[in-house]
Structure 1
Amino acid sequence: MGILNALAGNLQQVSNEQLLQQFGPFLFQGEQIQNGYQLIRDAVVFTNMRIIFIDRQGATGAKTRYRTIHLDTIVDVEVETAGAIADDSEINITYLKDVYQRKTGAETFGEVTLEFPRKFDVAPVYRQLGELALANRQRINSR
């Protein structure tokens, strides 16, 4: 079942120890892995500072791209739970692309979608990201 989910583009949870072994050299000082998910070669790692998207490229996967969304830029989160048959669950994260989070009226946004297998409980991930988005909105709008 794991390989079918991976081929379908669904993330599978991986132990923090395994993630630390693979991606520890790319963590910032004071950064700690909270949880992470992996496809066949690619991965998504949640830390106390950011979400790291690991994209292994090429036939061998030797070349790797690390992309980051800093947690303080997340401003909205949507969840779509799985249906009864073969649907997967999705979490859509909207984040500010602007480095300076000022009220300029010209903010630019990015969006990323994470897909999880039907049986994966997305509620804890959604709540964590949703609470973070709410705190970020309050912080940004209080300036």
Structure 2
Amino acid sequence: MGSPTDIGTSADRYQAFLMPGEKVAMEYKGLRDAAVFTDRRLIVVDPQGLRGRKVSVSSFPWKSVTAFSLENSGTFDLDAEMKICGSGWGVCELEFTKGVDVSAIAAFVNERIFD
């Protein structure tokens, strides 16, 4: 996924998928892909193919998340990894660049799935 970016940086890719009143809380952008954490769900934008003209947009509602795990970057690791498990859709895996505050992401997800 990359690193945190200003909210709205990738809005042209996900704006049409937002529901009325849905608020974006965090946005992470990689070279081509993006992850958007909203108050209602996680949206993953993944361009397909060499040119990225075809774009896959996946929506994972917080109410269907059953568990998640985080791996921090260690001494030799250059990234952090998050796995989100959900009822009806399996596992979504996200990789973040070194230096991403995964504890902030974990706190945000905890607030959404344990309400």
**Bin of the TM-score, shorter chain as denominator length:** 0.7 to 0.9
Helix, strand or coil for the counterpart of 2:26? strand
Match of 2:7 in 1: 16
Return the offset for 1:21: 4.2
Residues 14 and 38 in structure 1, CA contact (< 8 A), matched pair in contact too: yes
Answer yes or no: is the 8 Å Cα contact 1:54–1:65 preserved in 2.
yes
If each structure's helix is expressed as a fraction of its own residues, which one has the higher value?
Answer: 1
Which residue matches 2:108? 128
Q: Is the 8 A contact 1:33 1:46 kept in 2?
A: yes
Query: Structure 1 length normalisation: TM-score?
Result: 0.71
1:49 CA displacement: 1.4
1:40 paired to 2:40 = no
Q: Tell me the CA shift for residue 91 of structure 1.
A: 1.5
Distance 1:64 1:78 in 2: 26
Other structure's SS at 1:18 match: coil
- For structure 2, the residue ranges without an aligned partner over 5 or more in a row are none
Tell me the residue number matched to 1:110: 90
State how far apart, in whole Å, the 2-side matches of 1:17 and 1:87 are.
Answer: 26
Identity of aligned residues (%): 26
Picking from 50, 55, 58, the partner of 1:64 is 55
How many residue pairs align between the two structures? Answer: 115
| RMSD over equivalenced CA pairs, Å | 1.8
Per the normalisation by structure 2, the TM-score is 0.86
SS in 1 for 2:8: helix
Gaps of 5+ in 1: 1-9, 98-108, 136-143
Partners of 1:12 and 1:39 within 8 A in 2: yes
